[in-house]
């Protein structure tokens, strides 16, 4: 988003500069402008196209819906973004969301629910459950980070392993107590209200609370990435591990912390998802990492490492949800969703790499 602001501010002086350029330079500058803002252009075109066909697309309730869907998928993307900045990835993300959602749901079932997993458990305070879930996410992140940092294993391999381990744990967890592998449901109103209760109403449309939580997380993550030593170290390690090490960055600690932070983000996603869907099974969270990684890449967090913006991730998540909603409004077969998603990811990556190739 910062990019855009400076673009507007210096528009006049840029325009004057532009006039002075030769024809060839002019063309290059225009094409650069288009390529550097390709995602915003795609978003704008998509919105206009859909809104012309189906005007309700821009109604208040539709906008709130898109924002809510974006908010639900944002924390996991913010988490995985850090791993990508390190030129790695994290494919355990979706399963961690599933595990934490199931744990949160199991601890927060209403006391008189007939098939309550822990029948004698009283109503737990939300904060205790939230902290427990965060701890679970952090531990899995710690394991991921430790193996990546200590043994120099590629994060893909490490997180592939933890993905499987976590899935096995979810299946075992769901068999505990009275639950018998069933979908976890019958959640305490304190939990569902906390997550999807009404934050405020605009024009009679209720905005769910988790939108606020996602917004807060975005601000925190922006601060962590841009204003803290840890954030600067993360980018340093991501762009050149050797150089970062030589200049005194504790590479080991940085990598571990990035993954722990990611784990915490997945746990928050899980906690929100549990209350939002209100029924958690072993399938919860499946493939969420795919969308999260795609969103990061679309938003310019490069697999080359060392670059990425929080604003980009938000844009990426927003674009994916926009397509989902838009295609539904247009009554387009959902099969097209995959193809369009694939094309957008491919385009985004190609544009991204074009910058690096030009530099070389």
Q: 183, 254, 269, 302: which one contacts other proteins (CB under 8 A)?
A: 183
123-147: burial string, b at 16+ Cβ within 10 Å, e else: ebebeebbebbbebbbebbebbbbb
Q: 10, 125, 181, 342: which one contacts other proteins (CB under 8 A)?
A: 181
190 binds other proteins (CB under 8 A): no
d(CA 182, CA 185): 9
Contact 186, 266 (CB under 8 A): no
Expressed in percent and rounded to 5, the helix, strand and coil fractions of the chain are: 75, 5, 25
Q: 51, 160, 337, 340: which one contacts other proteins (CB under 8 A)?
A: 337
Q: Is 194 helix (H, G, I), strand (E, B) or coil?
A: helix
247 binds other proteins (CB under 8 A): no
111 binds other proteins (CB under 8 A): no
The stretch among 108-116, 128-136, 147-155, 231-239 that binds other proteins (CB under 8 A) is 108-116
d(CA 168, CA 60): 42
Site size for other proteins, by CB under 8 A? 50
d(CA 85, CA 93): 16
Tell me the two tokens of residue 8. Answer: 């507007």
d(CA 256, CA 151): 12
Q: Which is nearer to other proteins, 290 or 306 (CB)?
A: 290
The stretch among 5-13, 32-40, 124-132, 172-180 that binds other proteins (CB under 8 A) is 172-180
Tell me the two tokens of residue 299. Answer: 């938003």
208 binds other proteins (CB under 8 A): yes
Taking the complex as a whole, the smallest distance from the CB of residue 249 to other proteins amounts, in Å, to 28
Q: How many CB atoms lie within 10 A of CB 70?
A: 23
Q: 29, 51, 121, 286: which one contacts other proteins (CB under 8 A)?
A: 286
The stretch among 7-15, 17-25, 36-44, 271-279 that binds other proteins (CB under 8 A) is 271-279
From the list 200, 235, 198, the residue with the least C-alpha distance to 309 is: 235
Tell me the residue length of the chain. Answer: 360
| Angle (nearest 5°) at CA 240 between 236 and 246 | 80
Q: 4, 6, 31, 61: which one contacts other proteins (CB under 8 A)?
A: 61
Q: Residue 183 contacts by C-beta under 8 Å, 6 or more apart in sequence? A: 279, 280, 281
Q: 325, 344, 345, 348: which one contacts other proteins (CB under 8 A)?
A: 325
Taking the complex as a whole, the smallest distance from the CB of residue 115 to other proteins amounts, in Å, to 4
115 binds other proteins (CB under 8 A): yes
121 binds other proteins (CB under 8 A): no
Q: 104, 166, 196, 214: which one contacts other proteins (CB under 8 A)?
A: 196
Taking the complex as a whole, the smallest distance from the CB of residue 265 to other proteins amounts, in Å, to 18
Contact 285, 95 (CB under 8 A): yes
Tell me the two tokens of residue 123. Answer: 């109503």
Three-state SS string across 208-232, please?
A: ECHHHHHHHHHHHHHHHHHHCHHHH
The stretch among 27-35, 132-140, 180-188, 345-353 that binds other proteins (CB under 8 A) is 180-188
320 binds other proteins (CB under 8 A): no
276 binds other proteins (CB under 8 A): yes
Taking the complex as a whole, the smallest distance from the CB of residue 174 to other proteins amounts, in Å, to 7
15 binds other proteins (CB under 8 A): no
Q: Which residues bind other proteins (CB under 8 A)?
A: 54, 56-57, 59, 61-62, 64-66, 68-69, 113-115, 171, 174-175, 180-186, 192, 196, 204, 206, 208, 273, 276-279, 281-284, 286-287, 324-325, 328-329, 331, 333-335, 337-338
């Amino acid at each position: 988003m910062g990019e855009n602001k400076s673009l507007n501010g210096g528009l006049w002086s840029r325009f004057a500069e532009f006039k002075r350029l030769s024809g060839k330079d002019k063309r290059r500058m225009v094409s650069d402008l288009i390529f550097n803002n390709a995602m915003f252009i795609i978003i704008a075109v998509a919105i206009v196209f859909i809104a012309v066909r189906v005007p309700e697309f821009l109604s208040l309730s539709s906008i709130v819906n898109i924002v809510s869907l974006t908010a639900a998928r944002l924390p996991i993307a913010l988490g995985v973004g850090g791993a990508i900045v390190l030129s790695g990835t994290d494919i355990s993300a979706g399963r961690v969301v599933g595990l934490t959602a199931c744990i949160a749901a199991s601890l927060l079932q209403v006391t008189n629910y007939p098939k309550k997993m822990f029948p004698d458990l009283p109503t737990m305070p939300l904060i205790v459950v939230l902290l427990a879930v965060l701890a679970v996410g952090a531990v899995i992140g710690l394991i991921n980070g430790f193996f990546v940092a200590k043994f120099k294993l590629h994060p893909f391999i490490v997180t592939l392993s933890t993905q499987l381990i976590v899935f096995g744990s979810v299946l075992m967890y769901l068999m505990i107590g009275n639950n018998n592998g069933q979908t976890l449901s019958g959640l305490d109103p304190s939990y569902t209200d906390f997550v999807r209760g009404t934050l405020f109403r605009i024009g009679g449309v209720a905005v769910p609370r988790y939108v606020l939580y996602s917004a807060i997380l975005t601000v925190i993550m922006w601060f962590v990435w841009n204003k803290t030593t840890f954030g600067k170290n993360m980018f340093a390690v991501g762009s050149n591990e050797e150089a970062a090490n030589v200049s005194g960055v504790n590479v080991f600690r940085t990598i571990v912390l990035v993954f722990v932070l990611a784990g915490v983000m997945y746990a928050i996603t899980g906690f929100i998802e549990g209350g939002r869907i209100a029924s958690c099974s072993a399938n919860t969270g499946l493939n969420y990492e795919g969308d999260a990684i795609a969103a990061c890449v679309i938003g310019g967090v490069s697999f080359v490492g060392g670059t990425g913006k929080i604003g980009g991730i938000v844009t990426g998540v927003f674009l994916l949800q926009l397509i989902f909603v838009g295609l539904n409004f247009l009554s387009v077969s959902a099969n097209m969703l995959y193809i369009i998603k694939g094309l957008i990811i491919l385009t985004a990556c190609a544009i991204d790499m074009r910058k690096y190739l030009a530099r070389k």
